[in-house]
Amino acid sequence: MAKIICISIILILIIVGCKSEPLINPVMTLNGKPDLIIDTITYTRLPNCYEGYPSGIICGGPRFEFTLKIKNIGLAAISSPLFICNSRSNWDFENHYCSYCQRLNDHPSKIPVNGSLDIKFISDIDDSVHNVIFILNTNDIYNTGLNIPKIDEEDYTNNSYICSISW
């Protein structure tokens, strides 16, 4: 009788153990990766002409100063330079092409877990463009011939943001 009870208890423990959720490995949690997203973008249209060097006043097409709020939703802090790329024409947007990249956060500011960093970004945008794609290029797939260093992240699929522009 005692053997039957012991065997029954062991079988119940095995069945319950198989159905329970696996435990989270605490080492994985401590050694997690950052996960950067573009949380919000605001912009200001800049004058078409500006003081150039060494030739004086330079006039061109429409220029915008974008402020990107980069948020870290991952499990580890990050403090490295970031490459941000964007589309600048309707053709770029329609073909998911980022024709302009800029390295930002050169004097690295730390982005802690659940923290954010505001980054200013100036780009020329063709007239009549209504949407601009921005990419945090941490996996070196949206480049324009540059060999951009890869940043190890939890998720690369959340690195884009579409900003609507009103003229």
At residue 47, the pLDDT reads 86
pLDDT in tens, 58-115: 777 899 999 999 999 999 999 988 999 999 999 999 998 888 988 888 888 899 999 9
By the 8 A CB rule, do 88 and 129 touch? yes
* Domains of the chain as residue ranges with CATH: 24-164 (2.60.40.10)
How many CB atoms are closer than 10 A to CB 120? Answer: 10
DSSP designation for 78: B
At residue 16, the pLDDT reads 39
In this structure, of 24-38, 75-89, 105-119, 124-138, the range with the lowest mean pLDDT score is 24-38
- The Cβ-side half-sphere exposure at 81, using a 13 Å CA radius, reads 9
In this structure, of 4-8, 73-77, 149-153, the range with the lowest mean pLDDT score is 4-8
Give the pLDDT band (50/70/90) at residue 13. Answer: very low
